[in-house]
Structure 1
Amino acid sequence: MRRANGTGSVVKLSGNRRKPFAVRITTGWTEKGYPIYEILDYVETREKGLQILDEYNRNPYDVNLHNATLGELHETWKKSPQYERLSTSLKKSLRTGYNYCTSIADKKYKDLRVDDMQGCINDCPKGAATQRSIKNLFNHLDKYAYSHQIILHMYSALLQTDKAQMSRKKPFTDEEIQLIKNNIDIPWMDTVLLMLYGGWRIGELFEMLTANVDLEAQTITGGIKTEAGKDRIVPIHPLVFPLIEKRVKEGNQYLFVHKGRLNYDKYRIIWKKLMGKLNIKHTPHECRHTFRTRLDNANANQVCIDLLMGHTSKSIGQRVYTHKTMQQLKNTILLLD
């Protein structure tokens, strides 16, 4: 049965091919009146080709994007509004995940199946965190591809990663915190104290704008990662205030800079040197863990702790910083001696 004009066609190609049928649509005409074809796909049977044409005619899509490889789709997605809305730390995590997917980068995204995606996770020599980055990447790409009618099934929902080992984060001891105080003149030691007495994430330090430091109110506005964590207001502990004031007077756009913008790679080197000089072993995230532990030990108000750390709490509801709230947060910070 002949198809209606303008709805495309399925033609059999010559030779011995695994997918001998070309599914095509007409996108224009030459000066001599010959049709210009755009190939939607190559398939094994005419029936499958007709199904693809029917789907296309019901919901026309960008042909080039529809046939994009994993690598091409990844690059297109990185230019999308969805990608721009992601936090800097999440973008970094997803870039890391993509580095372990390059073996299938040239494969059409619509042809990827669970085994292809799971293979990237299984072949990853890193731990559970990196495997989660890979899974998270495919989750974002699946959503993007599904919204552009490139795929019909989001296989990323079926991916499995190794279970993360039980957390072994250990808080700083009182003796270690005193040691840090005694060595505050060492460059960059102020960042350690700010995290210990403010509960900031390491990635949030890199994003802190000098303009968001209110010296009069003695607060810092910042945060990343979640809606509860973004744009939260944290009082500056009196012990840390002179150090922050000094940073503000440097007049940089960002509060912490080191040969340009501070980032994970630069700070990793700084942190290693700081811990070496103190002869202690900790990770930057253990500062935040210590902040939470010390407030819990001081019987601090749970809602105040959640507000300070940027956690979601059923007791918080809509986050509104009233004068009373700010005073409660300052009183909570002052529980840390």
Structure 2
Amino acid sequence: MRLPNGYGGVVKLSGNRRRPYAARITTGWHINDTTGKRIQHYQILGYAATRSEALQILARYNNFPIDGETLKLTFGEIYLQWSEEKFPTISYSNIKGYRAAFATCEDIADTPFHSLKLNDLQQVIDHCGKNYPILKKIRVLFHQLYAYAMKHEIVSKDYSKYVNIYKYKNRNPNKTNRNCFSDTEIALLWKHKDDPYYQTVLMLIYNGVRISELLDLKKENVHLPEQYFDVIDSKTENGIRKVPIADKVLPFYQRWFQDCSSCEYLIHTLDGRHFTYYMYYNNVFQPLMFRLHLNHTPHCCRHTTISLLARAHVDQTIIKKIVGHSGAMTLTERVYTHLDVPTLVDAINLI
């Protein structure tokens, strides 16, 4: 069937392509100086696996025309434009979450945003291998980018609301059994207490913080005389708290505090740089576990803290305060419980 003049067209490209059909429109002409013939300039609207799908791209464009430069904006470029508006209004922990979600979208980062289909978004979910909480963050990112694109009239349909993550709710593709360190394993760690990096594992076991909270801890927020430090940026609002430092690991904090005066972070690399999670996990934590024939993740340290506190019969409200689980508190606990640092230090010293 012949398409109307000015409507655009569909061509099949040569070679072995996953999407060989291109929907395109004419954006202009020029005269070839040698032959005198008029030469068309084309703008590709998108690529498709079948001619029918390419015609649908063309139809959507004609129902909702946008300028050629906007057509070229990729998923990655839309993300950058959106992040410039969004990031100044949210916390650093949320920014890290969005950045991690975007990192899973590498396969579609260079795809023109307006040509993305539901299947493209679903492929990211199905093949990224992330657990359910991260899949939710990826879907939230999709929602945010489509809302931004629709506000700026880049697309007319929001495919993000059809992305399915529920099939992964009860089967985490990267699930790791998070076990507590046993008493024997903790004793084995103590045999290596003079090694600064083994010290970081013991610090995690005796403070109950998330690994990101320890790696992002700056020296200015560590109060050694009073034996506590402030978590000022956390995964949750309730994670903002004062964390007690147990007597038995206080020398480790003192050692790290005095090391590398040029680095503002308490825990740092040998050359005084800030540890990212992956740098610490791959270069420090995993090798230490491998050397001792242990099978744990950094989050196992947090589980161990909670278990040790419960075994020591520490009040549940105090445990929640130490590890930042105040979201699980009753209203009375949240509003009327004011625990001072010495009380928290006494509690952590019971383990």
TM-score by length of 2: 0.70
Deviation, 1:135, is 5.4
Distance 1:280 1:213 in 2: 30
Matched, 1:257 2:268: yes
1:37-52 aligned within 5 A: 52=64
Distance 2:252 2:228 in 1: 13
Matched, 1:85 2:91: yes
Deviation, 1:201, is 1.3
Q: What amino acid maps onto 2:295 in structure 1?
A: K
Q: What amino acid maps onto 1:184 in structure 2?
A: K
Deviation, 1:50, is 8.1
Distance 1:178 1:22 in 2: 73
Counterpart residue number, 2:113: 109
Distance 1:111 1:49 in 2: 10
Counterpart residue number, 1:225: 235
Counterpart residue number, 2:129: 127
Deviations 1:198-220 (A, max 9, x none): 01111222201000001122111
Q: What amino acid maps onto 1:73 in structure 2?
A: I
Q: What amino acid maps onto 1:118 in structure 2?
A: Q
TM-score by length of 1: 0.73
Distance 2:316 2:238 in 1: 15
Deviation, 1:238, is 0.6
Counterpart residue number, 2:222: 213
Deviation, 1:195, is 0.6
Deviations 1:256-292 (A, max 9, x none): 1113111233322212332244343322111111111
Q: Secondary structure at the match of 1:253?
A: coil
Structure 2, unpaired ranges of 5+: 12-22, 28-42, 47-54
1:299 pairs with one of 293, 300, 313: 313
Counterpart residue number, 1:164: 172
Q: Secondary structure at the match of 2:179?
A: coil
Distance 1:328 1:97 in 2: 43
Q: Secondary structure at the match of 2:206?
A: helix
Q: Secondary structure at the match of 1:79?
A: helix
Q: What amino acid maps onto 1:172 in structure 2?
A: F
Name the count of aligned residue pairs.
296
1:248 pairs with one of 247, 257, 260: 257
Q: Structure 1 residues 273, 105: closer, same or farther in 2, change over 3 A?
A: closer
Distance 1:116 1:158 in 2: 10
Identity of aligned residues (%): 26
Distance 1:48 1:95 in 2: 26
Deviation, 1:319, is 6.0
Deviation, 1:325, is 3.8
How large is the RMSD of aligned CA atoms in angstroms?
A: 3.7
Q: Structure 1 residues 327, 120: closer, same or farther in 2, change over 3 A?
A: same
Q: Secondary structure at the match of 2:302?
A: helix
Structure 1, unpaired ranges of 5+: 1-10, 24-38, 57-61
- 311-320 vs 177-186, greater mean Cα deviation: 311-320
Q: Secondary structure at the match of 1:234?
A: strand
Counterpart residue number, 2:298: 284
Distance 2:187 2:336 in 1: 32
